Amino acid sequence: MPEQARTPRIEPRDGGPDMVQLVTPEGERVSDERFDPIVDGLTQEDIQGFYRDMVLVRRIDNEATALQRQGELGLWAPCLGQEAAQVGSGRALRPQDFAFPTYREHGVAWCRGVDPLNLLGMFRGVHNGGWNPFEKNFNLYTIIIGAQTLHATGYAMGVQRDHAVGTGEPDRDTAVIAYFGDGASAQGDVGEAFVFAGVNNAPVVFFCQNNQWAISEPNERQMRVPIYQRAKGYGFPGTRVDGNDVLATYAVTKAALDDARDGQGPALIEAFTYRMGAHTTSDDPTKYRVSAEVEVWKLRDPIARLRTLLARSYGVGQVFFDACDAEADTVGADLRERCLALPDPSPLSMFDHVYVDDHPVMTAERERLEDYLGSFEGAHAS
Amino acid sequence: MSTLTLAKALNSGLRAAMEADPKVLLMGEDIGKLGGVFRITEGLQKDFGEDRVIDTPLAEAGIVATAIGMALRGYKPVVEIQFDGFVYPAFDHIVSQVAKLHARSLGNVTLPMVIRIPVGGGIGAVEHHSESNEAYFAHTAGLRVVACSNPDDAHWMIQQAIAHPDPILFYEPKRRYWDKGEVGAAPSRDLFSANVIRPGTDVTVLAYGPMVRSCLQAAQAAEEEGQSLEVIDLRSLTPLDTDAIFASVRKTGRCVVVHEAATFLGMGAELAAQIQQECFYSLEAPVLRVGGYNVPYPPSRIEEEFLPDLDRVLDAVDRVLAH
């Protein structure tokens, strides 16, 4: 039997030669035969829009982290450092497409037009994900790791049955995007999603933000083979893109979504990025990673590199950048104010929407709690 | 009215549901050309096509979770789990996602899906093919759990479950698949109503699924001894038709609960607790449970000693009557 090579254990410190990059960390535009035409389709206004998105998303994210530190949120999962991966992919979606997020896709939520107050409400504990997913085609956050990749696949199978794939009608053909992380790539659900999507040729793009850390566990504890290479085993293309390069992420995602809408089936994208902050506000990354690594990634910052590109290659001046910062201040202050004003839900609301139709246990227990709470009324007066 | 096996009654019920609503589709392992290992879906793929009767990869989490996605897109998936013991890979999606999405979305998302599970033992099967796991799901808020026991209920309850807006676990008594019975021209009652299947005056016997037939046999035998058993087919495990249950126990003053599942924290425990709370002054004897022992499902050569049968039901009846 011929000996087969074992893949050496990976030591992922940069994206390697397969990684698609269109803008270097220094802000230089790199040409790419396949993806240049997609970037050429963008106006300067579009690219400035990406910059504005990233600045605002970072501000929303930082505001939420601050609110958690002040005790106003129970928890927050920061997306600091992942703005390009989220804005680039989020802006590649069309209105009829459907996104299935994890619990960290604040930038994608922004691109879909979901009010960030909804996200904060969940982490504040006033609801468990209380927005209408069908309003912006953005599903509820999913905390169980990887579960949403299968929901996305099933949704895409529904799209196929609605004949909303490959018709050539730009407003009809629909793609689905499933977000997940490097940690989730170890979950069986993700493997099953790849199988179901593959055999059904479903119009779903699996978008993995490899932010290098699954809480405290680095890539080498999660995988032997780089994630994007895994697609081959399931029969669809896998691409690694520089997830800190918003133009590259946009172009790679748009190509995959276009293919999916066209009926060519699923794709896997690995956005190579970095979680600059903690996993959540309960985490302390200084216990497991060295600051030198964080310093390296600071130099790859997604916002700084686009700013350099805009200034150098597009002649964008200080006025625009200042306006973005000023808008971020307004958005942040407004969000803070609205977060603090969020009312607690009524205790009796826990019985709402457990079932669509009446259920006698809900009726009985609601009455019991109502009576119990009512028994305290006026107690302080006596 | 026609006479059908329980399996055929399910098949005709599924067919009727698919004819009534083009959004209804079936998903499961081997349910297409083969018609499922119990042939419940026989002929349906041929008539409704591969898009509506979907042979899925062999992965239960994937089946249930893609069904969630289908439901989010507006479909009404009916999932077949091949055997009771194979549902556990999908447990996470059933309890963490299916049960909760309606509440999490503040009512914006509905998941009108049905998960069919052939349940129970008594067929000489190998391990993992004979389990009774209804209590896990009945314990989970957001789910409804029903169990059919005869062809008429099989035919109509599956249609009622599919038409219902909440997610429903639908248990099918696999050792009764080949029992024959009359199927009426209309549903006999609401999906969540119990059925006083044999009226009596001395002891209330509560059962569901495969144990209903055993309890009816026990009632027949008891009658010859001069004991009058009232057998109630619960049909729905959540919600429970407590009005029917309490009315019967208040009348008889005695109650025996029978199921194949282990008694510890099983449906009988919940029923006994509720009955003692609501019928305390009517009770002449403690509520007794007859069920499987609290062990892993045993090898099939000794399953007859594990499963409740006519004699064990009558033994419990004698004990409550001795008070």
Give the percent of chain A with pLDDT over 90.
94
Residue of A132, A154, A160 with shortest CB distance to B68: A154
What would the pLDDT profile of A26-55 be if each residue is shown by its tens digit?
999 999 999 999 999 999 999 999 999 999
What would the pLDDT profile of B98-120 be if each residue is shown by its tens digit?
999 999 999 999 999 999 999 99
Distance in Å, alpha carbon of A90 to nearest chain B alpha carbon = 20
- So where are chain B's domains? 2-183, 195-321
| CA distance linking residue B158 with residue B40, whole number of Å | 12
Q: What is the ipTM of this complex?
A: 0.97
Average pLDDT, integer, range A150-156: 98
Residue A86 · residue A106 · CB < 8 Å: yes
As its CATH architecture, domain B2-183 has: 3-Layer(aba) Sandwich (3.40)
Instruction: Please say if the pLDDT value at position B313 is more than 90.
Output: yes
Q: Token pair of B18, please?
A: 């698919």
For residue A307, what are the CA distances in angstroms to A150, A170, A253, A324, B204?
37, 32, 21, 11, 78
In the numeric block, the tokens 């978008």 are attached to A207
Residues of B forming the active site: 129
Topology given in CATH for the domain delimited by B195-321: Rossmann fold (3.40.50)
Residues of chain A numbered 120-139 and touching chain B (CB < 8 Å): 127-134, 139
CA torsion angle B10 B14 B16 B19 (round to 10) = -170
**Burial zone of A357 (CB within 10 Å; 0-12 exposed, 13-18 middle, 19+ buried):** exposed
Its pTM surpasses 0.95: yes
Query: Which amino acid, residue A179?
Result: Y
For residue A273, what are the CA distances in angstroms to A15, A67, A181?
9, 25, 10
pLDDT band at A382 (very low <50, low <70, confident <90, very high): very low
Helix (H) / strand (E) containing B229 = strand B229-233
Is there a shared CATH topology between the B2-183 domain and the B195-321 domain?
Answer: yes
Residue A157 · residue B70 · CB < 8 Å: yes
Instruction: Please say if the pLDDT value at position A5 is more than 90.
Output: no
Query: Which amino acid, residue B297?
Result: Y
- Could you tell me which residues of chain B have a Cβ less than 8 Å from any Cβ in chain A? 25, 51, 56-57, 59, 61-62, 65-75, 89, 92-93, 96-97, 100-110, 141-142, 144, 164-166, 238-240, 242
| CA distance linking residue B140 with residue B129, whole number of Å | 23
